A and B are shown apart, each in its own frame.
Chain A
Amino acid sequence: MVAEAVLKKIKQKKLSNLYSMETLLNDFSVGLFVMQAVILLIIILLMRKFAWKPILNALDEREGGIANALKSAENAKLEMQNLQADNQRLLKEARAEREEMLKEARDMKNKIIEDAKTEASDTANKLVAQAQASIESEKKAAIADLKSQVANLSLEIAEKVVRTELSNKDKQLQLVETMLGEKSLN
């Protein structure tokens, strides 16, 4: 009877103690703890030296490389854009220059034509003026000549007239009279 009760008690205790604090503490093995600490420490040190450091460095390097490549690609793109803009600008400039040159040429042509025209007209004017001047002077000379001839002719006529008139005394007086009458004393 007593033995049975004790057995039952043991059994119950065993069941409830399957994972009680007591079993937990009983299961804690100091030796295993020490072994684990030593092994873990060694593994950490070994892995750090031979695995993690080279792996992480390689990863960093690779990621740095990728980042750089992306950056330089971006830069190249920007440069390309700049280059294109430059080209565009150059083209524009060239076009403007051509325009300018064409305009200049056109202007020069016009100017030359203009100049030629003015020069020609100047020369013509000069020639006309010279001609006119010479015509004028010829005319003057002709008039002077005519005048002198008319004067000479008049003198000759007058001489002849006077000669004929002065041969008669009455007539001479009559002439004086008419002349005096004409030239009233005023």
Chain B
Amino acid sequence: MVAKKSIKFIKFLVLFLVSFNGFAGGDKNPQGNTIDTPDEIREYISHHLKDSHDFHFFTDNASGTHYSFPLPVIVWTSEGLKTFMSSAFHHDDAGHVVVEKGGVKLTKIHSKIYELESGASSVSFDEDHHATNAHKVLDFSITKSVFGMLLAGLLMFLGFVALAKSYKKGPIPTGFGRVLEPLVIYVRDDIARPNIGDKKYRKFMGFLLTVFFFIWILNLLGLTPLGFNVTGQIAVTVCLAIFTAIIYLFSASKDFWAHTLWMPGVPVILRPILAVIELVGFVLIKPFSLLVRLFANMTAGHFVVMSLIALMITLKKDFGPIGSTGMSLVLALFISVIEILVAFLQAFIFTMLSSLFIGMAVEEHDHH
């Protein structure tokens, strides 16, 4: 039942993507040459690691055709909210194409949307390649990352609602639910319960389970050739870490604050110093460690996998096409397998540390 549904969903997705392919194809690539030098590869990788405004699969550089579909751009400009499809930029990412929309001139430079100052008709750059006559706008676009999040959310929702429904028929789930159920039990019994405690874990399960599966699905999506890099976006990991911090700071017990702000059992002179250290630790350092860990791991993973794939090109001169391809294939395969593990591991670590911090905050000391 569930499997049938998911197959239907995938069919729908494929149809959706293919249909967009149809009318998005045909745009000419202005550069029009293949990516074969180290600098171009580096540029390509760093471009991929960033968020983008259209869903790009690949570009046939010989004919200059992009296989991609546009995503909606929603920006808050000096003239208010503006929406249009990203196809208006014609795959330009260097500020060459200026889109005029209701009195504001918008352009895209390195995956960021800039608003040109009034009077300017094209972007001028200083020697560090910073735009001098344009500024960034607040960008609420359905970017590739937002699209990825929505996709992950949808997949999660469909899968787990099906599992929840299957319990109405009997105590043991059937189909794909059999795979999902042990994961839920794993998060509950091996992450939440030991760290938060049997009495209080229940309240935080909604957040922990959601975050665990959300991160995991996004990490796995990142390994597909669709090329999502959602958990490698620093804004995403900052948001996740802030959620965790808000949850543990607002559910902290009296004991936690008493211990943090006026540590018993140490000399009185040291107590204010310790309070500052503890506060900084809980408010800044712990969330920071969460967000940097996830961001750095996922970014590094993508970077390494892509670099190894690029070996095919960079080593072609030294090892010949077969040698370099073979080497790249073996190494990329090896790292990809490790990345599958890392995808799970990072979701696990994020959830584990979140529950650990929550556990520290809600803990009640009964020894005084």
Chain A residues in the interface with B (C-beta under 8 A): 6, 10-11, 13, 15, 18-19, 24, 26-37, 39-40, 42-44, 46-48, 50-56, 58-59, 61-62, 65
Among the listed stretches B29-37, B205-213, B349-357, B360-368, which one makes contact with chain A, having 4 or more residues with CB under 8 Å of it? B205-213
Q: How far is the CA of A169 from the CA of B2 in the complex (A)?
A: 173
- Asked if B199 lies at the interface with its beta carbon under 8 angstroms from chain A, I say no
- Asked if B145 lies at the interface with its beta carbon under 8 angstroms from chain A, I say yes
Contact indicator per residue, chain B 145-169, by CB within 8 Å of chain A (1) or not (0): 1100110010011001101110100
Q: Are B161's CB and A36's CB within 8 A?
A: no
The answer to whether residues A39 and B167 also contact, given A32-B145, A47-B210, A56-B205 and a CB cut-off of 8 A, is: no
- Asked if B306 lies at the interface with its beta carbon under 8 angstroms from chain A, I say no
Interface size class of B (residues with CB under 8 A): 35 or more
Q: Are B160's CB and A27's CB within 8 A?
A: no
Chain B residues in the interface with A (C-beta under 8 A): 39, 42, 46, 50-51, 75-76, 112, 127-129, 138-143, 145-146, 149-150, 153, 156-157, 160-161, 163-165, 167, 171-172, 181, 184-185, 188, 202, 205-207, 209-211, 214, 233-236, 238-240, 242-243, 299
Q: How far is the CA of A52 from the CA of B142 in the complex (A)?
A: 27
Residues of B within 8 A of A37 (CB): 239, 242-243
The answer to whether residues A40 and B214 also contact, given A34-B140, A52-B209 and a CB cut-off of 8 A, is: yes
- Of chain A, the residue at the smallest CB distance from B234 is A28
Q: How far is the CA of A29 from the CA of B145 in the complex (A)?
A: 11
Q: Are B164's CB and A43's CB within 8 A?
A: no
The answer to whether residues A47 and B235 also contact, given A27-B50, A40-B243 and a CB cut-off of 8 A, is: no
Q: How far is the CA of A18 from the CA of B45 in the complex (A)?
A: 10
- Of chain A, the residue at the smallest CB distance from B141 is A31
Residues of B within 8 A of A34 (CB): 140
